[in-house]
């Protein structure tokens, strides 16, 4: 390969990296590789380019991070304190919402009945609606059981908000104990479930068109 060809390839690579950089900086939400592929042309290794760009931003004040299947620029973790400011939540999550979100995160895909079984109380539809409006929970599909209940899972926005690359980065049993979120007097054989992070599990069917409306009846939170 001639020096001129090397220079041409290098120019194309730099252009592609600049395009990805611009798209990611301009987006308010994390972007998937497929979202950016159309800006680069056919046959471009977008995943490889993203890894290259991620390496280039290592050690800087802003890092390129992965959130599930999506990518975003975020302030370096060790500099987050510089940008932190006091913020007042206009509608903080209730204990019921926090418990529901935690159960979905660790047990997904989970149906409403399964969430209630873990919590020990009924879960109002309003709680699930609140979590979906926040963009942290989504309807995944329908369980292949009588009644075909809706299954719920977390979103890339959930990963982004809590600084997780994948669901495998959720705190484990020892971390939860260390943070004081679990009692020290727990059964010795207690295990944290492994959440499913795929599109649909073998016991799930795709959502019905009617699910875009109101898939489950309204109940009061108990």
Domain residue limits, the chain? 3-83, 95-212
Q: What is the CATH number of domain 3-83?
A: 1.10.10.10
Q: What's residue 72's pLDDT?
A: 93
Q: Give the three-state DSSP class for 116.
A: helix
Q: What is the pTM of this model?
A: 0.60
Q: How far apart are CA 60 and CA 64, in angstroms?
A: 10
d(CA 151, CA 73): 31
Picking from 96, 144, 85, 150, the residue whose alpha carbon sits closest to that of residue 118 is: 96
Per-residue tokens: 110: 């989970």
Q: Which CATH class is domain 95-212?
A: mainly alpha
| DSSP assignments along 8-19, one per residue | HHHHHHHHHHHH
CA 98 – CA 175 distance, rounded (Å)? 18
Which residue from 30, 19, 22, 26 is spatially nearest to 70, judged by alpha carbons? 30
Each residue's pLDDT, cut to its tens digit, for the chain (222 residues) gives 555 445 566 788 899 999 999 999 988 889 999 989 999 988 899 999 999 999 999 989 899 999 888 999 988 877 766 665 544 444 567 888 888 898 898 888 999 999 988 888 888 778 999 999 989 999 999 999 999 999 999 998 888 888 888 888 888 766 665 555 455 554 555 566 777 777 888 889 898 877 766 545 444 443
On the question of a common fold for 3-83 and 95-212, the answer reads yes
Q: What is the pLDDT of residue 8?
A: 60
């Amino acid at each position: 390969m001639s020096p001129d060809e090397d220079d041409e390839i290098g120019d194309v690579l730099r252009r592609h990296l600049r395009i990805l950089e611009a798209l990611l900086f301009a987006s308010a939400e994390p972007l998937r590789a497929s979202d950016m592929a159309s800006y680069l042309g056919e046959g471009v290794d977008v995943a490889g380019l993203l890894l290259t760009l991620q390496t280039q931003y290592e050690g800087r004040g802003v890092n390129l991070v992965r959130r599930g299947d999506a990518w975003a620029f975020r302030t370096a973790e060790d500099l987050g304190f510089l940008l932190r400011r006091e913020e007042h939540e206009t509608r903080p999550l209730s204990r019921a919402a926090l418990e529901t979100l935690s159960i979905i995160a660790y047990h997904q895909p989970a149906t409403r009945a399964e969430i209630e079984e873990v919590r020990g109380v009924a879960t109002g539809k309003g709680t699930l609606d609140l979590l979906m409006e926040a963009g942290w929970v989504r309807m995944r599909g329908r369980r292949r059981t009588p009644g075909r209940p809706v299954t719920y899972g977390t979103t890339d926005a959930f990963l982004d908000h809590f600084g997780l690359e994948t669901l495998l980065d959720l705190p484990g049993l020892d971390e939860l104990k260390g943070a004081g979120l679990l009692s020290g007097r727990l059964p010795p054989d207690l295990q944290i479930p492994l959440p499913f992070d795929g599109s649909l599990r073998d016991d799930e069917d795709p959502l019905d068109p009617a699910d875009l409306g109101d898939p489950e009846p309204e109940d009061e939170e108990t």
